[in-house]
Structure 1
Amino acid sequence: MTAGKKALLAGMFCVSLFNAGERALAQGKMSFVVKPAQIKASVQPTMWGVFFEDINLGADGGLYAELVKNRSFEFDTPMMGWKEEKKEGQDGSYLILNTGNRSKANRRYIRLDSRSEKGYGLTNEGFRGMGIKKDNGYDFSVWARQADNTRSRIKVSLVTPEGAEIGTATVSPEGSEWKKYTASFKASATEPKARLQVSLDGKGTVDLDMISLFPQDTWKRRPGGLRADMVQLLADMKPGFLRFPGGCIVEGRTLDERFQWKKTIGNVEDRDLIINRWNVEFKHRLTPDYFQTFGLGFYEYFQLCEDIGASPLPILNCGMACQFNTAEVVPVDQLDPYVQDALDLIEFANGPVSSVWGKKRAEMGHPAPFNLKMLGVGNENWGEQYIERLKIFTKAIKSKYPDIRIVNSSGTDPDGARFDYLNKELRAMNADIIDEHYYRAPQWFLENASRYDNYDRKGPKIFAGEYAAQSVRIASPDNKNNWECALAEAAFMTGLERNADVVTMASYAPLFAHAEGWQWSPDLIWVDNLRSYGTANYQVQRLFSVNKGNSVVPLLLNNKPVAGQEKVYASAVLDSKTNELILKVVNAAGKEQSGDFMIEGKNAKKGTVTELSSSKLDAVNSFDQPQTISPVSRPAHLTGGKLTINMKPYSVNLIRLAL
């Protein structure tokens, strides 16, 4: 055969293959090639994590299991959450007393004066009611003292909206000195809208403060701890990191309202309460009873990280209040206390018990270090004033703790003048990690699945710190956690994973929302006083996180990364611990599509396909139907080392193959 004939036949063969490929695509059949031997990048343990901010009653009224609202009468309106309870034949009055000591965190207390043998008291409404479970134990506590040498007992009762008593206990304060008194009891019924009655039994005068009620079934059954079902949803995700405490909470509407970590540790009764910045942020969702008690403080955040196996990522104020609100900044020559807070936090987390802040950690019950490796400076701050302050923080932190990696803000948006300026400045600073945020329409996420394909491999790493597809528009109260948004996020996440040499961390935001106390939607997990469920978005996040793998390998269609061809998006990783190949394949098309997956150079023996799907893009999970969109698994069928799967319309397909 002549060289010319060979060339002609080769050309005809290539054309034939090309045409066959085109026909296969036209018929909805695609041929994917996976190359397990070509390691492209390492997947960091921090790849998929969670972001927590006290928004939507996320902490008080949510994750922090305290059932009493305004337990120490420190809200701007001291009796908010409380009301006088006078039953037939009862007579009495109350008085709010303020010590006037502005340096003291807990300045107010209440004096109850009963002038009747039948008693007198108050009722607390809780956070949109109190969720009480039948046969569960409840721990009551109060700081109290007798006034005027009286001896009055305090009766504590849980009551239904109709007034039926479903749990009760008594405590008997003694003497004129403040002491803490406790009592425990079981509930006789389940009630999502219970109230707490605190009353004097007979005549007398008693001073009360820090009136508290916790369920006993907290996470790890810690007294005064966290709501177990909410923590369990986080633990089930096996997150690589937990970012806390926010978010805009870090900045505050003003610098006076910023989050100050040192005021959130130590004895709970000594922690400063402040207004929550989401209290009045949205006119359509005003929440005047939203405050931060800091019962969930930095010690508890670190402890939670340890509990769920997540690396801690605290974010600190950089000397700037929220630029959407007041845009206050501390003068640069007065920035030292803010910088010192950052240095002291590292010592609190990692320092020996012989150090000042390491000793405080040990005194709270954790002598061992928390193994802090990274720290954020600023939240969504931008502009020259941010860079100026960031440089001061960076120099101080790196001088004392060179191994601590610093997370840096790229502003509020993934593009535009703010982003361009910060991106340029941070790269010139050789920043460790750049935090990018994206709250955009689902279509944006589909179109940006290849966003990081051409990022500088030698530049700063990327933290996809806050993202969520918005079904209507940013900050709309009509946004839904529907399948269209979750599907688009999954497609985008394949692009994050494919570029794991650049993107080392990612987290959806916000995390929690109370059904009757939210300010922002969409949110990953919804709760009421007794129930919680993961949204469709949660199911996507969990699927990616628990199937993280540790090495990225090529997954190609027509020799190109799969980032939207035929509305399909995909990534592939190896799990060296289990010797498995993990494929994540998103079919964003409204039709079923079939794919052949050729595993190059490896013999895939068996596997599973786990699917998330819905034929309705507006489908959502709910309290009554929490599993509407949830994973369904089936065996994967391989023939001659080739896997063929039919992908449902609008589906996320997780494939694990044993090699």
Structure 2
Amino acid sequence: MKRLLLILSLAFPLFIKAQNYIVNLAEVKAKIQPTMWGLFFEDINRGADGGMYAELVKNRSFDFPDAFMGWKTAPSRQSYGRNEVFQIINNAAVNPNDPKYLQVTVTKPENVLLQNEGFGGVTVKKGLAYQFTLRCREQVAGLKLKVEIVNSKGSVVGSTVQEISRDARNDGAFKLLQSTITPSDTTVNGRLVLRFEGTGKLDIDRISLIPTDTWKGKAQNMRADLVQKLADIKPGFMRFPGGCIVEGDDLTTRYQWKKTIGPLEERKLISNQWKDGGASGRAMPDYFQSYGLGFMEYFQLCEDMKCEPMPILNCGLSCQFGAGEVVAADQMDEYVQDALDLIEFANGDAISTVWGRKRAELGHPAPFHMKLLGIGNENWGPQYVERLELFTKAIKSRYPEIQLITSTGYTPNPQFKYMDSVLRAKHVDIIDEHYYQTPNWFLMNAGKYDNYDRKGPKIFIGEYACHSVRIGNSGNKNTMLCALAEAAWMTGLERNADVVTMAAYAPLFAHVKDWQWTPNLIWFDNVSSYATPSYYVQQMYSLNKGTDVVPITLNGESIAGQDSVWASAVVDRKAGVLIVKLVNPSSVAKVKSIAGLKGGKASLTVLKGRPEEVNSLEMPELVKPVTALMTVKGKELKLDLAPHSFTVLRLNL
């Protein structure tokens, strides 16, 4: 094959001699995995409950430690004898996964109501149908239930009368009742109100209000605008469910996947690891995991987005910054079995395997074809290595095709060096590295993987984000400068795709008024959401992934950071295009010529803005990429790289 060179000429100030960039299309430096750019999801910053999960009712099953958290009652519980009307019944001996329910007893007609505040208010749209459901059991007949949605002024914008059906009476079992409410007006800071009329006694549980415009109308009940932003990235994988919540404050609050599948009343609510605020110190004492989104929903979401599922499991260690609990090595059978059962749940035959049948019973007979499994999150030290060996031996002997992702801790420090050396000596499949660093660090480390061992384990950058100030500080913002630093860093990941097989920004979501950590990829309130400059960087890489890395050099050397320009080049054999990514974080414009072209169609996508600029709810598209189509006439194309810009150029081969 004839060697084909594209010459990219950089125009320096007039007193500096111009230099040439060379892209060698004849040489394939590395194959790019379909999983290269993906997503990391964790229920932090209201990412699930109050965020991606579309449920509008907080503490819907009264299972918070304070069972009335999120609720107000009239008459007040203290007004004429505590719990005379409203009484929390602890039913843990019968159903430990749904231990509480509310018993309402009305002996004389009066204004008895129960009101839920939602997640920073109940938000509804005019004309959109909302599905109201509750589980109830009638103990003494006579109560009628009227359900209302009221606005911030207390005016009713939607209501329904919920009939207590005959099969909810006196047979000892809870029954699911449901109806539809269509608001006559839009309200943002509303409330859900249950009015009890007449006299009688009624047990109620799992009160729910969910919009009918969930993503693709799926029964997983995910908020459409948030999930669509994920789908628009076209991720290669999604890592779930975290993050620190995998570890738990202690082992009792670790994430246990088997408790997140099946009927909602069988999904045991637990405290969220992030309720105390983590590094930010922003405590959220009402932050719990309802598991309305569980492993079944995560697997189905990955399937819908056509990306690889990447579940992460607890390895027998709780958060090593918290209680630091360790399961004895001779008592690890339950933890290892959970991993084996998860693989069977994801991939097992729907008839001949126990957990494959369970998946089929939940409505998904076909396997999910899971290939990736993480063992532990940000764990380190000899205690992690000892437990990893137990998982590896059990899983590889039964499922050798499963690629195991192993932890190196939480940051590049001496602990990381120890873990990296140990894991390499054990020839693990994939090593997980996490980086939360400053813009300068990301810019200066774009060549980090240039000299990594090409025959060693693959690298997964499981979490990374550029922080404008110190980690966890509330002053961190998703600035354009941070996005450009990430884009520059990603050129190095892409150039070294034979070593770096996957990468994901973290965290993914944050509620603008209810968060513990920043920066984040996508921000939202109860009405709308916006993408950050960092989001657009992720999207521009993922939509322009390519199939093969080709060399791009300046005077025979990597151009990472030379003259304040970072670059990478790939080809997409399927689409028949060369894709060049160019990052100019400096304040000086750069002029480039690309010579040796055949001519034809091309496109140029540019993300640019002042270094301090950020998007917001008020200005969601202040910083946004713009794409221009062009026709290249002749063999040369001249381009201007704007100051503070990230450019993706696609050229026909």
What TM-score range do you get, normalising by the shorter chain?
over 0.9
Q: Separation in 2 of the partners of 1:649 and 1:308?
A: 35
Please name the residue that 1:605 is paired with.
600
Quick one: which amino acid aligns to residue 153 of structure 1?
K
Contact kept? 2:11, 2:19, Cα under 8 Å: no
Match of 2:44 in 1: 55
Q: Report deviation, 1:25.
A: 8.1
1:183-332 to structure 2, matched below 5 A, reads: 183-223=179-219, 225-282=221-278, 284-332=281-329
Say if 1:99 and 1:593 are closer, same or farther in 2 by CA, change over 3 A. Answer: same
Q: Once the 2 structures are TM-superposed, how far is the Cα of residue 219 of structure 1 from its aligned partner? A: 1.1
Which residue pairs with 1:127 in the alignment?
A: 119
Q: Distance in 2 between matches of 1:28 and 1:364?
A: 67
Q: Which amino acid aligns with 1:465?
A: G
TM-score, with normalisation over the residues of structure 1? 0.93
CA distance in 1, matches of 2:17, 2:630: 19
Alpha-carbon offset, residue 137 of structure 1: 0.6
What's the offset of the Cα at 1:21? Answer: 8.4
How big is the shift at 1:151? Answer: 2.8
**For residues 163 and 560 of structure 1, do their structure 2 counterparts lie closer, same or farther at Cα, with a shift above 3 Å needed?**
same
1:41-440 superposed matches below 5 A: 41-86=30-75, 93-101=85-93, 104-148=96-140, 150-173=141-164, 174=166, 175-176=169-170, 177=172, 178-223=174-219, 225-282=221-278, 284-354=281-351, 355-414=353-412, 416-440=413-437
Alignment of 1:489-504 (within 5 A): 489-504=486-501
Give the drift of 1:657: 0.5
- 2:640 alignment partner in structure 1: 646
Deviation sequence 1:491-533 (CA, Å, 0-9, x none): 0001100100110100000000011110000000001001011
Could you tell me which amino acid in structure 1 is paired with residue 87 of structure 2?
Answer: L
CA distance 1:28–1:309, shift in 2 (3 Å): farther
Structure 1 stretches lacking a partner, 5+ long? 1-16
Deviations 1:399-447 (A, max 9, x none): 0000000001111112x21111111011111111101100000100000
Q: Does the CA-based 8 Å contact 2:241-2:312 persist in structure 1?
A: yes
- Kept in 2, the 8 Å contact 1:30–1:596? The answer is no
Q: What are the Cα deviations for residues 587-614 of structure 1, in whole angstroms up to 9, with x where unaligned? A: 1111111112245xx6352211110001
In structure 1, give the amino acid aligned to 2:311.
P
Query: 2:613 corresponds to which residue?
Result: 619
Q: Tell me which moved more, 191-200 or 590-599.
A: 590-599
Matched, 1:39 2:5: no
Whether the aligned pair in 1 keeps the contact of 2:145 and 2:163 (CA below 8 Å) is yes
Matched position secondary structure for 1:341 = helix
Q: Match of 2:4?
A: none
Tell me by how many angstroms 1:120 deviates: 1.1
Give the distance between the partners of 1:498 and 1:102, measured in 2 at CA: 57
Unaligned runs of 5+ in 2: 1-6
1:569 pairs with one of 566, 569, 585: 566
Are residues 202 and 633 of structure 1, via their aligned partners in 2, closer, same or farther at CA, if it must alter by over 3 Å?
Answer: same
Secondary structure of the structure 1 residue equivalent to 2:274: coil
Q: Is the 8 A contact 2:11 2:592 kept in 1?
A: no
Is contact 2:11-2:591 (8 Å) kept?
no
Local SS of the residue matching 1:368: coil
CA drift of 1:164 comes to 0.8
TM-aligned CA deviation for residue 112 of structure 1? 1.3
Percent of aligned pairs sharing the same letter: 51
Inter-partner Cα distance in structure 2 for 1:22 and 1:146: 80
> What is the identity, as a one-letter code, of the residue corresponding to 1:163?
G
Change (3 A) 1:26 1:445: farther
- What letter matches 2:547 in structure 1? N
* Range with bigger deviation, 33-42 or 446-455: 33-42
Which residue of the partner structure matches residue 3 of structure 2? none
Distance 2:250 2:18 in 1: 57
Distance 1:23 1:180 in 2: 71
SS in 2 for 1:590: coil
**Post-superposition shift, 1:113?**
2.1
Runs in 1 of length 4+ with deviation above 6 angstroms?
20-25
- In the alignment, the residues of structure 1 paired with residue 477 and residue 491 of structure 2 have an alpha-carbon distance, to the nearest angstrom, of 22
User: SS state of the match for residue 285, structure 1?
Assistant: coil
Amino acid at match of 1:120: V
**Structure 2 residue 546 is matched with structure 1 residue 549:** yes
Q: Distance in 2 between matches of 1:60 and 1:388?
A: 35
Aligned to 1:517: 514
Looking at structure 1, the residues matched to 558 and 634 of structure 2 have their Cα atoms a distance apart, in angstroms, of 24
1:270-318 C-alpha deviation (Å, 9 max, x unpaired): 1111000101134731101000011100000000000111100000000
Which residue is equivalent to 1:629? 623
The residue correspondences of 1:524-535 to structure 2 (distance < 5 A) are: 524-535=521-532
**How many matched pairs?**
634
Alpha-carbon separation, structure 2, partners of 1:624 and 1:604: 42
Counterpart of 1:563, as a letter, is A
- 1:460, 1:486 → 2: CA distance? 28
1:555 is displaced (CA, Å) by 1.5
Aligned amino acid, residue 63 of structure 2: E
User: Aligned partners of 1:380, 1:268: CA distance in 2, in Å?
Assistant: 30
Query: Structure 2 CA distance, aligned partners of 1:25 and 1:628?
Result: 34
Any conservation in 2 of the 1:305–1:311 contact (CA below 8 Å)? yes
Change (3 A) 1:413 1:100: closer
Q: Tell me, yes or no, if the aligned pair for 1:112 and 1:121 is still in contact at 8 Å.
A: no
C-alpha separation in 1, matches of 2:643 and 2:388: 47
d(CA) in 1 for partners of 2:512, 2:12: 50
* Code of the aligned partner of 2:635: G
- With 472-481 and 633-642 compared, the bigger mean Cα shift is at 633-642
The DSSP-based 3-state class of the residue aligned with 2:37 is coil
Distance in 2 between residues matched to 1:429 and 1:604, nearest whole Å: 51
> How much does 1:203 deviate?
2.2
Q: Which moves more between the two structures, 150-159 or 528-537?
A: 150-159
Q: 2:69 corresponds to which letter in structure 1?
A: M
Q: Is the 8 A contact 1:606 1:658 kept in 2?
A: yes
Note the aligned Cα RMSD (angstroms). Answer: 1.9
Give 1:32 deviation, angstroms. 1.7
Deviation at 1:155, TM superposition (A): 0.8
Question: Secondary structure, in 3 states, of the residue corresponding to 1:504?
Answer: strand
Separation in 1 of the partners of 2:35 and 2:552?
A: 22
Q: Aligned pair in 2 of structure 1 residues 316, 334: CA closer, same or farther (>3 Å)?
A: same
Aligned partners of 2:52 and 2:222 also within 8 Å: yes
Deviation string for 1:447-488 (max 9, x for gaps)? 000000000111110101100000111010110001110010
- Other structure's SS at 2:292 match: coil
Matched AA of 1:627: E
433 and 26 in structure 1: CA distance in 2 versus 1, 3 angstrom threshold:
farther
- Residues 25, 607 of structure 1: CA spacing in aligned structure 2 closer, same or farther, 3 A cutoff? farther
Secondary structure of 1:488's aligned partner: helix
Describe the SS at the equivalent of 1:278. Answer: helix
CA–CA distance in structure 1, aligned partners of residues 15 and 426 of structure 2: 49
